[in-house]
Structure 1
Amino acid sequence: MSPRFRTSRRALSAAAAAALTLALAACGSGSSSDKGHDSGMAGTNHSAMPSPSGSGDGMASMPGMDSTSTGNGLAAAKDGYKMTATAATLPAKATDYRFTVTGPDGKPVTDFAVDQTKRLHFYAIRSDLTGFQHVHPTMAGDGTWTAPLAALQPGTWRLYASFTPDSGAGKGKDFVLSRTAQVSGMAMASPLPKPSGTATVDGYTVAVKGDPMAGMAHQLTVTVAKDGKPVTDLQPYLDTYAHLTAFHQGDLAFAHLHPETKVDGDHGGPTLTFHAEFAQSGNWRLFLQFQTGGKLHTAPLTLHVG
């Protein structure tokens, strides 16, 4: 090989290295803002996509929460916070589920911020997305929470704790942690209803409109009617006119969709808006909870996310 040819190869290699450096710099220029950035719309994190979790009980990254959110509800531990419980099996009847949230120091957390009138929200769902329960447990002085569950059908259940520490390393961050429990008996799985924009419960018809795409912020519009007439007497429930929770078919990833409609007395409706972000495509099972005449209604429906 001639000296001239070797010089030419060195020049080409140097030019290629410089181009690669510039390309990497360009790609990295947005990375600092992409890590938990504020999308400009309250209650979202455009970078919230599922990723493997070291906890072994799920995945990290949380859809449908704001830029301080951590986890998608499938992990028992995240960022030093852990949901612990002794019960791995539960009876097929009404029962109390006890658990503790420990912090990075290993001690039970007892200081929680109030979110939608509660310091902690607790959810239960069976693996086939049936049997949804949303309850509000009570905490003892030692940090032990007790969640009163209605009768459970046999099968595998996932139990979620949604909370925001009000002190410590995780202050101001929204966490959703979960554990699984087995309910004894013969499990009979129910097929997931096909995607539909409407659902009927207790004589009320709920319609959800919107075309959400995975990883993007979207607005969902909900309308409530009864006997073909718009409902305008929705009462506040958890400081909002409706509470909307979603679970992903297959892995049971959790999404809490944030209401945008302001509460003003006992005359909510008929139209409500929610800020939604789903980290994964596929079918999601939504549970819309609203209150009229002092009675809570829960309307389930399946929504497809592209």
Structure 2
Amino acid sequence: MKKWGIAAVLYLALVIGGYSVYAEWFADEKQPESHGHNQSASYESSKSREKSAPHDESQGHSDHAEANNSSHQHGSSAAHEGSSEVSVFVKSDQDELKIFLKDKSANPVEDLEVNHEKLLHLIVVDDQLHKYYHLHPEQTGKGEFTIGNNLPDGFYKAFVDIKPKNLAYHVAPVPFIVGNPGMSTHSRGLQPDETLSKNVDGENVKLTMSSFKANEPVTLTFDLDKTNLTPYLGAMGHVVILDENAQNFLHVHPANDKDTVFETQFEKPGIYKIWAEFKQNGKVRAFSFVVEIK
């Protein structure tokens, strides 16, 4: 009986000791799991703060361009289109063009920042990159803009330049058709200009480029009569650049408030068309140049 009592005491001590070890081990195992949950919460909070930051004008162009020229240029490349949180739709009627802005949940996007005096800049080109229009539709509803349609029948691409608040956005081409143009005549056959000097309405503009190489900073200097040159949309000029397939879009502003000098960068070799807009004697003119980047 005495041996049985000693055995019972030893058994009870073993059970209690084993439970204590188990409880301590279990607590140690649970602690990292709780710590991981706190890390996740901190990460989500950080992402929320990033998403709510003001939209920067530099969003949408190459990483190299951002490093060199974030305040003077914005646009798109194919690599960025998938990360855009705003979708653009263009509807062409007989008398008007309508632009619809939707987020990923198909809700209207209406919280936009004023960008060079306008909420929305609409750049339209035809399929041969012969015709160029810089338009400014008026807001007619939530996430909806409208402008009269005076375009000839044809195949077009629209580039909607906006600055949504709290949403990432990258400009991408939106194809649309006006009227009954028949078959597309897009030949993708742009030829580089032999001389970079153009005359429109008696006004001469000469373009000088610091480089014709891809993936390095390029300065575009425009020589023109500045006697009656006045600001246009808050700048001394505007430059829009498209590759020959009208897929990659750049909208570049002057490097300062006085000179017609622009800084940019071409991501890939190829043929590009440049439209430079200046307001002289109260009239806005677009001077186009075709260059080859190697």
**Secondary structure of the structure 2 residue equivalent to 1:177:** coil
Structure 1 residue 99: Cα displacement: 1.9
Structure 1 residue 203: Cα displacement: 0.7
Q: Which amino acid aligns with 1:216?
A: E
> C-alpha distance in 2, partners of 1:74/1:298?
29
Confirm or deny: 8 A CA contact 1:46 1:217 kept in the other structure: no
**Secondary structure of the structure 2 residue equivalent to 1:111:** coil
> C-alpha distance in 1, partners of 2:132/2:234?
21
> C-alpha distance in 2, partners of 1:128/1:75?
24
Q: 1:146 to 1:284 in 2, by over 3 A?
A: same
1:179 aligns with 2:174: yes
Confirm or deny: 8 A CA contact 1:108 1:142 kept in the other structure: yes
1:287 aligns with 2:270: no
Structure 1 residue 65: Cα displacement: 6.3
Which whole-Å deviations, capped at 9, do the CAs of 1:143-164 have from their partners, x for residues lacking one? 211133432242x211111111
Residue 89 of structure 2 corresponds to 84
1:296 aligns with 2:289: no
Confirm or deny: 8 A CA contact 1:245 1:255 kept in the other structure: yes
Q: 1:153 to 1:131 in 2, by over 3 A?
A: farther
Residue correspondence of structure 1 range 105-254 to structure 2 within 5 A: 105-154=105-154, 156-166=155-165, 168=166, 170=167, 173=168, 175-183=170-178, 184-186=180-182, 187-188=184-185, 192-195=190-193, 196-210=195-209, 211-225=211-225, 231-254=226-249
Confirm or deny: 8 A CA contact 2:91 2:97 kept in the other structure: no
**Secondary structure of the structure 2 residue equivalent to 1:175:** coil
> C-alpha distance in 2, partners of 1:223/1:43?
26
Q: 1:75 to 1:146 in 2, by over 3 A?
A: farther
> C-alpha distance in 2, partners of 1:262/1:66?
13
Q: 1:135 to 1:142 in 2, by over 3 A?
A: same
Aligned residues: 231
> C-alpha distance in 2, partners of 1:143/1:81?
11
For structure 2, which runs of at least 5 residues remain unmatched after alignment? Answer: 1-56
Q: Which amino acid aligns with 1:47?
A: D
Identity %: 18
Which whole-Å deviations, capped at 9, do the CAs of 1:176-232 have from their partners, x for residues lacking one? 13310123224555753532311111111111111242222221111114xxxxx32
Q: 1:98 to 1:142 in 2, by over 3 A?
A: same
Confirm or deny: 8 A CA contact 1:73 1:176 kept in the other structure: no
Residue 278 of structure 1 corresponds to 266
Residue 7 of structure 1 corresponds to none
> C-alpha distance in 1, partners of 2:74/2:276?
22
> C-alpha distance in 2, partners of 1:219/1:73?
23
> C-alpha distance in 2, partners of 1:135/1:74?
26
Structure 1 residue 67: Cα displacement: 11
For structure 1, which runs of at least 5 residues remain unmatched after alignment? Answer: 1-41, 50-60, 226-230, 264-270
> C-alpha distance in 2, partners of 1:258/1:243?
5
> C-alpha distance in 2, partners of 1:193/1:123?
22
Structure 1 residue 78: Cα displacement: 4.2
Q: 1:212 to 1:297 in 2, by over 3 A?
A: same
Q: Which amino acid aligns with 2:273?
A: R
Structure 1 residue 107: Cα displacement: 1.1
Q: How well do the aligned residues superpose, as a CA RMSD in angstroms?
A: 3.2
Q: 1:205 to 1:83 in 2, by over 3 A?
A: same
Structure 1 residue 72: Cα displacement: 2.7
> C-alpha distance in 2, partners of 1:214/1:147?
37
Q: 1:65 to 1:146 in 2, by over 3 A?
A: farther
